[in-house]
Chain A
């Protein structure tokens, strides 16, 4: 346990130095503040649009951090050979993978808190009412990031960061489009493609489940059971992907 914490702390510390992080955080905050401009264009819709764009920015920029930092996480240590002295310690491989994961997830938590605090403050100043749904939406974004990070770290144990980032990005896009896969147009009926795409529907986690942004923008509450279900769904997928990552790394030559 101590070893996991040590690795996690160090990963957190290291990622904080990552320039990508600053660039993304900067853009996220800029987007959140820039939504004011959009607010002017659509008069009267101000608050709704600011909420919508803020949440979208948290989701997208959070995912970008998860993808770009996550996909390099283990690979970089193999590439730079820092792994030699770490894995030759009396530590288990899964402790290393888990530590790396927790370090990045902690960093994502902090980033999300910064973005959320920024946009909440901004909304308060603009005189917006903020309900429970606003925070539920942010929680679900975080759960989604946990899942994406787990997938990114799985890939970083087996492929190079560029390929990994591309795959995770497709996963991200695909995960938001699973409904499309299920509700295929009739042209696909009976084709091989339909089978493949339908299978994909079942094997790709449905990331839309975590998306309650429009509810949050429109102040439409969602039920707690829904939130719990989404959290449980996200955590299950996350654990599954993390276990895969640990297994993939267990016997790998470094």
Chain B
């Protein structure tokens, strides 16, 4: 069974005196069980809107969403979700320990179960160091940890994390990444949004890319970038400056490194052999030849450019 399925999921915000906003348009998406699904999109693309629809916080204008086969508007669907909002806010006068207990009670856990959950979660997120301090004085990172803790209560099979790494330092990001991997290893499904591409690229099994409310692409990173050009980086040493200049004069990009190392970037593999011959003929030495896949970042940027200047007939309608 799929963890998440959406059918034509759409959300339109209408408010008096303001322009109508189509935050989400006919999104059809499927997230398999036990995968990490990265949900990408720039600010205002509709990531938060989609996640709020999945948690039943807002009503879909059209279409529907299913969580493990159950309609997302039902409380029983929410029993299988752990949700971390974009900016997690809790009662400021409670401590993390009390907060976990409060949400544990809302999830129907017994006192004993709550105590066990606290031990499990606080160990996982290192909450012990501020277990009994009021949230009021917490930093962004501390709040984020409490938020993740709340999402983990009751060990739900699906985690919806809205920008779980935003505002965290590298150490914090790594912690979040490790938790997501650990959750997958435990058989959980993790759905998370981000606009930090490297984070998504590194750990997601699959990604969805949202552009102005439209799911522009979805699939495995490998497949998404399969059609993309494969550039090569050719690193060599021992070339004289004027030889390097002669090559760059033909429009070939290059990076100069230390000890007379030069890296040429060629858009096509086919262009490599003649250049290698030329380098060797001029007394240079080939050090490495590395194919570089177009990264998700480039792919993502291109999609956005296409969306912004739609040349010809391009899927999305602009109202």
Contact = CB atoms under 8 A, between A and B. Distances in A.
B105 A3 contact: yes
A92 B167 CA distance: 32
Contacts of A84: 52, 55, 57, 83, 85, 88-89
A82 B90 contact: yes
A2 B108 CA distance: 7
Interface string A73-87: 000000011111111
Best-surrounded residue of A2, A14, A88, A253 (most CB of chain B within 10 A)? A88
A81 B85 contact: yes
Given A10-B102, A90-B75, A85 B107 contact: no
Contacts of A2: 105, 108
Contacts of A6: 102, 105-106
Nearest to B79: A90
A91 interface: yes
A137 B26 CA distance: 60
A2 B109 CA distance: 10
Interface string A163-196: 0000000000000000000000000000000000
A10 B91 contact: yes
B89 A89 contact: no
B63 interface: no
B106 A86 contact: yes
Contacts of A82: 89-91
A91 to B, nearest CB: 6
A184 to B, nearest CB: 35
B74 to A, nearest CB: 9
A19 interface: no
A17 B107 contact: no
B76 interface: yes
A253 B107 contact: no
B80 to A, nearest CB: 8
A14 B78 contact: no
B68 interface: no
A253 B57 contact: yes
Interface in A7-51: 7, 10, 13-14, 17
A80 B89 contact: yes
A90 B91 contact: no
A58 B150 CA distance: 41
Interface string B49-68: 00010011111000000000
B55 A88 contact: yes
A10 B94 CA distance: 10
A19 to B, nearest CB: 13
Contacts of A87: 55-57
A162 interface: no
Contacts of B55: 84, 87-88
Contacts of A7: 106
B86 to A, nearest CB: 9
A186 B89 CA distance: 58
B7 interface: no
B222 interface: no
A254 interface: yes
A251 B61 CA distance: 12
B75 A88 contact: no
A90 B105 contact: no
B103 A89 contact: yes
Contact of A3 (B59, B91, B108): B108
A192 to B, nearest CB: 28
Interface in A86-145: 86-92
B273 to A, nearest CB: 58
A253 B103 CA distance: 21
A86 B106 CA distance: 8
Contacts of A83: 57
A88 B102 contact: no
A253 B87 contact: no
Contacts of A80: 89
Given A84-B57, A254-B58, A91 B89 contact: no
Given A14-B93, A82-B91, A89-B107, A251 B102 contact: no
Interface of A: 2-3, 6-7, 10, 13-14, 17, 80-92, 251, 253-254
26 contacts: A2-B108, A3-B106, A3-B108, A81-B85, A81-B87, A81-B89, A82-B89, A82-B91, A83-B57, A84-B55, A84-B83, A84-B89, A85-B85, A85-B103, A87-B57, A88-B55, A88-B83, A89-B106, A90-B76, A90-B107, A91-B106, A251-B59, A253-B57, A253-B58, A254-B57, A254-B58
5 A-B pairs with the lowest CB-CB distances in the bound complex, closest first: A90-B79, A253-B58, A88-B55, A84-B85, A6-B105
Interface of B: 52, 55-59, 75-76, 78-79, 81, 83, 85, 87-91, 93, 102-103, 105-108, 147, 150
